[in-house]
Structure 1
C-alpha cells in the first residue's frame, strides 16, 4: 500500500521526466516498482534520456563550438567586407576617375589582404592546430617580404578604421531597416539608439522563439501521449462493444427474424391483393358492357337450343323404352328393316349413276 501511495504521488513527475516514452498513468500505477525505478532514474538523466554528466560535457562542447564559430564569423565577416570594399573601388575606378590617394589606399589594402591569405594557407597552425608541410618550399616569411612599405601600411590602417566603421554602420542600418521597415525614415541618432538595443531585442526574441518551440514540443508530446491513451481507451471500448454484440446477437436475431417474417407476410398479403386488383382490372378491361350483352344473348340462345335438344333426347329415350318392351322380335325386324333400307339406298345410287351415264 505504501508503494502504491508513493507511486501515485510520483506519477506526474515521472510522466513529465520521460515525455518521449509511451507511458500512461495506468501503466505506472499498476507497476509501482517500475514507477519508483523511473523516478530514481529521472535524477540522472534529462528529458531526452541523456545522462547528466554527458549533458554537461555536451553543453561545454557546444559553448566552445559557439565561441569558435563566433570568432570565425567575425574574421569571415571582416574579410568579406574588405573584399566588398575593394570590389566597389574597382567599379568606381572603372566608371569614374578616382583620386591617387584612394587608389593607393585600396592597392595597399588589397596587397595586405592577399599576403594575409597566402600566409594563412602556408601556415594554418594558428587556426587548425596542425602542422602542414611547406608548399613549393615557401614559408610565411617569404610571403611577408611582399608586404607594402610600412609607411603605406600605417596610413592604410589609420584610414581603414574609419572606412570600416562607415561600412559597418551602413550595414547595421540596413539590418535595422530590414528588421523594422518603419524605422528607415527616422533620424540617425534614433537609429543609433535602436541599433544599440537591437542585439538585446533579437536575443529576447530568440529566447521567446525557443520558449515557444519548447512549448510546442511539450504540446506535441502531450498530444502524442493523449492520442496513445485515447487509442488504448478506444480499443477497450471496441472490445466491450464486440462482447456485447456477441452476447446479445442471438436474442436480437430472434426478434429480428420474427419482425422479418411479419414483414414478409404483410408484404405477401399486399402482393396478393395487388394481383387480385390487377386481375379484376384486366377483367374490367376485357369484358365491356357490349361484350357482356352479346355473351348474354349467346347464352340465352344456347340455353334454348340445349332445352330443345334435351326435350328431343327425352322423346327419343321414351320411344326407345317403348321399343324395348317389344323384345327380341322387334329387334330382328329392326335389323331387317335396316338391311332393306341399305339395299334401297344402294340401288337408288346405282340407278342415278346409270341414268346419268346413259344420257
Structure 2
C-alpha cells in the first residue's frame, strides 16, 4: 500500500532529470546536487513524496497555516501600536518645534496656550503611565513616591482642555502633513518647485509607490538568491565535469604518451651526458691554456728567485726577531725606560708578518 501511494505521488512531480530539478527546487535550503539524487534514487523518491506535505522552508501545511495566522495577528497588533506611537511621537515633535520657535520668534497667545496645554496633558499622562504598576506588578505594592495615578490626574489642567481637544486634530494633521511633504521632497527633491495641489496629489500616491518599490526590491532579492543557488549548482556541475576531464587526460598521459616517451628520454639523456662530458673537457683544456699563457719559463724562474730571496730575508728576520726578543726579555724588568725598544720590537714583528704573507702568496701562485 505504501509503495503504491508513493508511486502515485512521485510521478506528479516528474521523472528522470525533471524530477531531480523539481526536488532541488522544492528544497532550496538543502545542500544537494543532481548527482546526489542520481546516485540515491530511493532518497530522491522520498524527497519527492515529502515535497507534497511541506513547503520550501520545511514546515508542514497546518503549521504554516497557524504560523500565517499568528503573523497576521502580530501585524495587526503591531499596526495598532505603531498608530499610537506615531501619534505620541507627532505630539512630542509638535511640542519640540513649539519650544524652538518660542526662543526665536514671538508665538501668538492662542498658539502658546494650545501648546502649553498639550505639553501639560502629555506630561500628566506620562506620569500616570509610569505610576500605574497594576499591569506588571501586584497592586498591594506601595506607590512610587507615595503617589497614585488618581492624585496625578488632579494635576491635569482644567482650563482650555476642551478648546485644545477641538484644535488638536487640525494641528496634528498640519504637523503630519508637513512631515509627509518633507518625506516626499526627500524621495524626489525635483518636486520641490511644484504647486501645493500637485504635491498633495503626489503625496497620496507616495505610499503605493514605496510599496511597489519595496516589492520590486524583494523580488530582485529573491531573483538574486535563486541565481546564486543556480550559479552554485552550475559551478558544482562544471567542477565535476572538469574533474572527469582532468582524470581522462591523466589516463591518456600515463597510459599512452609515457610509453612512447621512454625511449626518447633515454636517447636525450645519453645525448646530454655526452654533451656535458664534452663541455667539461673543453673547460679543462681552456684552463690549461690559460695557465700556459700566464706562466711562461721566464716567469717561473723569476718567481723562484723571488721566493729564494724572500725565504732568505725571512730567515734573517727570524734571527733578528729572536735576538730582539732576548734583549727585550732581559731589559723588560727595567721598566718604562726601554719603551723605545719595545716600539722597535713591534715594528720588526710587523715587518716579519708582512714578509711571511708575501712568501705565502708567492708559494700559492708558484704551486699553481
Taking structure 1 as the reference length, what is the TM-score of the superposition? Answer: 0.67
Q: For residue 97 of structure 1, report the CA deviation from its aligned partner.
A: 3.6
Correspondence for 1:36? 45
Q: Call closer, same or farther: CA 1:20–1:245 in 2, change over 3 Å.
A: farther
Distance 1:61 1:15 in 2: 29
Q: For residue 249 of structure 1, report the CA deviation from its aligned partner.
A: 7.9
Q: Call closer, same or farther: CA 1:79–1:124 in 2, change over 3 Å.
A: farther
Q: Call closer, same or farther: CA 1:124–1:255 in 2, change over 3 Å.
A: farther
Structure with the larger RCO, 1 or 2 (CA within 8 Å, 6+ apart): 1
CA contact (8 A) 1:7 1:35 kept: no
Distance 2:181 2:26 in 1: 45
CA contact (8 A) 1:86 1:110 kept: yes
Deviations 1:92-119 (A, max 9, x none): 3334443332232122111111122223
Distance 1:222 1:124 in 2: 56
Q: Call closer, same or farther: CA 1:156–1:281 in 2, change over 3 Å.
A: same
Are residue 19 (structure 1) and residue 58 (structure 2) matched? Answer: no
Correspondence for 1:170? 178
Distance 1:69 1:160 in 2: 25
Are residue 106 (structure 1) and residue 115 (structure 2) matched? Answer: yes
Correspondence for 2:69? 60
Correspondence for 1:161? 169
Instruction: Select 1:208's aligned residue among 205, 216, 221.
Output: 216
Q: For residue 267 of structure 1, report the CA deviation from its aligned partner.
A: 4.3
Q: For residue 237 of structure 1, report the CA deviation from its aligned partner.
A: 4.1
Distance 2:67 2:209 in 1: 27
Q: Which moved more, 1:174-183 or 1:267-276?
A: 267-276
Distance 1:103 1:283 in 2: 116
Query: How many residue pairs end up in the alignment?
Result: 283
SS at 2:228 equivalent? helix
Bigger Rg over Cα? 1
Across the aligned residues of Structure 1 and Structure 2, the Cα RMSD in angstroms comes to 3.4
Q: Call closer, same or farther: CA 1:236–1:48 in 2, change over 3 Å.
A: farther
Structure 1 segments unaligned to the other structure (5+ residues)? 287-359
Distance 2:114 2:90 in 1: 15
Q: For residue 271 of structure 1, report the CA deviation from its aligned partner.
A: 5.4
